Amino acid sequence: MITKFAVALAVVPVLIYAYAEGPDPGYASVPSESDCTSCHRGTLNSGPGNVKVAFPNGLTYSPGVKQHLVLTIQDPSQQRWGFELTARQANSTQTEAGSFMPGSDGFTQVICSSPNALPSILPCSATAPLEYIEHSFKGTRPGQTGSATFEFDWTPPASNAGNVVVYVAGNAANGDGGLFGDHIYSASYTLTPAASGSGNPAITRVENAAGFQATIAPGAWLDIRGTNLASTTDTWGKAVVNGVLPTQLDGVSVTIGGKPAFIYFVSPTQINALAPLDVGTGNVQVVVSNKGIISNAANAVVDQFSPACFLWPGSYVVATRQDFSLAVKSAEFQGLTTTPAKPGDILILWGTGFGPTNPLPPNGKVVPVNPVHNVVDQPVVAIGGVTAKFFGGALASGSAGLYQLAIQVPSLADGDWPVSIHVGGVSTPAGALLTVRK
C-alpha cells in the first residue's frame, strides 16, 4: 500500500504500484477482495504489530448518526504507514454501509468503485457505490516509527441496515521502497444497530472537565454527562470561525445560569463546554438543548476558582518542558519516546479553572497572543509535599480556558509524587502524580 517500484520479469517490465498516494479500491480485506499482500510480499498478520479501530460508541451504530473513528497501526520496527477501510452490510459484502469523510489533517482520502471494477472519481455514484477510506501520500509519514493514527468520520446508513461489518487492512512498512519487509495486518468489526428509543436529553452530572470536582468556574472547562444529549458525536473543529467559539454544535447548546456556554465536544452521553466569563458565582442551573428539546435543569456551583490539572491515564499530570516535550514516565505511550521529569527541570503544567487573569480574555473567543493573560492570584505548587519554585501562570494563547503554570521540579528522590496546587483558597483534587527520575 506504500510506494514501491519494481521489477522486470522476463522481458516484460512490470510496474508494481504499492501506492504512496493510496491504493486502488479493494484492498481492505473484504472477503473476495484483497488485503495488500498482493503488493507487499508476506503473510497476513504475521508481524509483531496490529491494526485497530476505536469506535466512540462501542460496537454499535445509530442510523444516520456520524461517528468519529480513530485507526491505529502499530509495529515496533516499522517507519511508514498506510491503510484501507470500508464498511459493508453483514448480509452482503458487496453492499456499501454508510459513507466516509476524511479528517482535516490531510492524512486520509476517499475513493469509490463498483464490485470488480476500476475506481471512479468522487462523489460516489450509482455505478460506483462502494466507498473506501485510505491514507493519502501525506498520511504515510515516512520516518515515523512505532505507530501511526488516522482519524476520520463514518456516517452509518440512514435507516437500520442490520449488522454492519467494518473491514480494514493496514500496512506497517519499512520504508525501503522494496517489495519485502513490510507487515500487513487486517481486522474486522461487526457493529449492531443501537437500541431504538427517543427521549428528552437528561443531565446526570456536571463537573470540572479536568479534575471532575463538582465546582465549576467562569471561563473554565466543564464536563456534562447524561443521555440523549446529542444526536451525533462531533467537535468544534470546523465551527471555530475567525477565533469565535460556537455556542451551538450540531443542534446542541448549553446554558449555565442562563448564559450560553461554548461547545467543544458533543455525543449522546457527554458534552464538553467552556463556561462563559460572565456566569457569575454561586448556585446555577445547567440546561442542555438538543435540536430544540430541553433537558432537565441540573444544579451546579460556580466559584471563581476550580483548579485542576489535566491528566494522562494513570492520573499523571500533563506536563511539558519548555520545548513542549512530554515530561512523563518512560514507555507511558506506545511508540513514543518520553522522559520523566528530573529535579531542577522547568516544567509547564496544563490545567483549567485557575481563576481570573489580567487582562481578562475575550469572552467566547480564542485567547490572543498579545497581551499575555497572566493569572491574578499566584498558585502554590507542591510536588511530593515540597513547594516548587513558581515562575508564572497564564492562559495559553491560541486556545481557550487552558492555563499554563511554569514551575521548577524540587529536589526529590525517584518515584511517582503527588502534585497539589493551591490558589484562591481552593486546592486541586487529590490523586494527581508526576514521575521524577534523576
pLDDT per position as a tens digit, 302-319? 999 999 999 988 889 999
**Residue 275: CB atoms within 10 Å:** 29
- Which residue type does 189 have? Y
Q: Do domains 8-193 and 202-302 have the same CATH topology?
A: yes
Mean pLDDT of 253-273: 95
| Lowest-pLDDT choice from 18-32, 221-235, 268-282 | 18-32
| Lowest-pLDDT choice from 75-89, 246-260, 327-341, 362-376 | 327-341
pLDDT per position as a tens digit, 166-194? 999 999 998 876 667 899 999 999 999 87
pLDDT per position as a tens digit, 135-146? 999 999 999 999
Where are the chain's structural domains? 8-193, 202-302, 308-436
pLDDT per position as a tens digit, 58-81? 898 888 878 899 999 999 989 999
What is the domain class of 202-302 according to CATH?
A: mainly beta
Evaluate if residue 206 carries a pLDDT over 50: yes
* Domain 8-193, CATH homologous superfamily name and number: Reeler domain (2.60.40.4060)
Give the model's pLDDT for residue 130: 87
Distance of CA 330 to the CA centre of its chain: 22
Pairing of strands 183-193, 60-61: parallel
Instruction: Let me know the angle formed at the C-alpha of 62 by 162 and 208, rounded to the nearest 5 degrees.
Output: 150
Evaluate if residue 122 carries a pLDDT over 70: no
Q: Please give the model's pTM, rounded to 2 decimal places.
A: 0.58
Give the model's pLDDT for residue 41: 60
Give the model's pLDDT for residue 90: 94
What is the domain class of 308-436 according to CATH?
A: mainly beta
Rg (alpha carbons) of the chain, rounded to whole number: 25
| Lowest-pLDDT choice from 228-232, 277-281, 401-405 | 228-232
Q: Which residue has the higher pLDDT, 28 or 15?
A: 28
147 grid coordinates:
505507530
Mean pLDDT of 360-370: 95
Evaluate if residue 128 carries a pLDDT over 80: no
Q: Which residues contact 268 (CB under 8 A, 6 or more apart)?
A: 57, 62, 227, 228, 229, 230, 231, 233
DSSP letters of 262-320? EEEEE-SSEEEEEPPTT--SEEEEEEEEETTEE---EEEEE-S---EE-EETTTEE-EE
360 grid coordinates:
481578562
Give the model's pLDDT for residue 178: 67
DSSP letters of 343-391? TT-EEEEEEE----EESPPPTTBPPPSSS--EESSPPEEEETTEEPEEE
Give the model's pLDDT for residue 32: 81
Give the model's pLDDT for residue 318: 94
